[in-house]
Amino acid sequence: MGLGMKGMGDVPRRILICPDSFKGSLTATEAAESIARGIHQVLPTAELELIPLADGGEGTLEALLRVLGGEKKGLWVTGPLGEPVWAEYGVLACRGLALLELAQVAGLTLVPPEKRDPTRTTTYGLGELFQVVCRESIQEIWVGLGGSATVDAAAGMAQALGYRLLDAAGDPIGLGGGELARLERIEPPAKRIWQGKRIRGLCDVQNPLTGPLGAAAVFGPQKGATPLQVQQLDQALQHWATLVKRDLGQSVDRIPGAGAAGGAGAGLVAFLGATLESGIRLLWQQASLQERIHRCDLIVTGEGRLDEQSCMGKVVGGVLEQAVLAEKPLLILCGQATAADRAKLATYSLPVDIGVIWGGSLAEQEQIPDVAKAQQQASLYLERLAARKLQELL
């Protein structure tokens, strides 16, 4: 279904640009700026409002800081492979609020493809971030969950915070999701530096911890897990959840979002008493997205790949939901899109259209040879796609 701008009456004067990141190619801010350049080629006098979004995964820190303000800080922590990585976080001193992002310390982009192995990768650096943040005058901590290279149920974070995760001989287990199979006892630390602070885990998925829709089965393969490792990790997470219920009195396996970030959602609840919620819902509340949508004539969003996950707690799904409620036309720009999901979007009652860099007419016109080339020059192609689609719609 086309947008049919002429059927709307006036050419859009106010355009809201609110994309997610294009993973591996563009941050949400870079994507929004590329789209804006393309739109201004066609409508140079249009009023553009750029609100880069995130759903709890990679880019959440940047998006929240842009909306809320605050100070960005950084430090060296233990990365997913045990090597030092530079991680940033945000502090809003006036609100007593800290903003953390798991992808900063254990993100999939921090691990080369040939080294991806979620039986070994760890969230230890997240615990180190908590240690630093909890020394400040902070009452509330938001943690973006998503985009991780790990399936350790935040066990590494817990180890950094003083939890003793012990094997049958009473010795500490090692780091990584594979080590959870050896776990026999969980002992909390005597001093809990996070006590009295409200901790909110921001999820981009609602998956349970284990089973066919769990952390290992759904997300393990994209983190580098083999079919055998997926099975082993799922069993290890089940074992961990049993011990969490026995030793910590927490039943976490079926909590929506427990499977986020390789079980880090469940880990935040079990180890820190956190609550889990939709990252995109929180961000659009903080950004007053509903009010901005009501003021605009056209919404433009997008992401790297439009697929079955896009409408399940992700940015595009969240923006689509708000566009439907406000009855505003929507343009979705993406790197790739499955045929099924393109067809599904055509069934919505509101005007909605999709532009695709790879797999559409733009790739033919620009003679883009492959996906890798499209990703390397994503900013340029996204700018051209935005201009092309807007010209078609007008």
Residue range 60-280 forms a domain whose CATH class is alpha beta
Distance CA 373, CA 333 (A): 17
pLDDT of 284: 86
Instruction: Report, as an integer, the average pLDDT of 36-55.
Output: 94
Looking at the predicted structure, is the pLDDT value of residue 126 above 80?
yes
pTM over 0.75: yes
Looking at the predicted structure, is the pLDDT value of residue 347 above 80?
no
Q: What confidence tens digit (pLDDT) does each residue in 50-70 have?
A: 999 988 888 899 999 999 999
Looking at the predicted structure, is the pLDDT value of residue 361 above 80?
no
Q: What is the CATH number of domain 5-53+288-393?
A: 3.40.50.10350
List the domain boundaries for the chain.
Answer: 5-53+288-393, 60-280
pLDDT of 308: 64
Instruction: Report, as an integer, the average pLDDT of 22-43.
Output: 92
Compute φ and ψ for 224, nearest 5 degrees.
Answer: 105, 5
Distance CA 99, CA 61 (A): 6
Looking at the predicted structure, is the pLDDT value of residue 375 above 90?
no
Instruction: Quickly state the pLDDT bin for 81 (edges 50, 70, 90).
Output: very high
Looking at the predicted structure, is the pLDDT value of residue 132 above 60?
yes
pLDDT of 65: 94
Looking at the predicted structure, is the pLDDT value of residue 4 above 50?
no
Of all residues in the chain, the percent with pLDDT exceeding 90 is 71
Looking at the predicted structure, is the pLDDT value of residue 247 above 60?
yes
Q: Which two tokens stand for residue 221?
A: 């393969």
Q: Residue 382 in contact with residue 303, Cβ under 8 Å?
A: no
Instruction: Report, as an integer, the average pLDDT of 143-160.
Output: 96
Chain position carrying tokens 């986020």 = 260
Query: What does pLDDT average to over the chain?
Result: 90
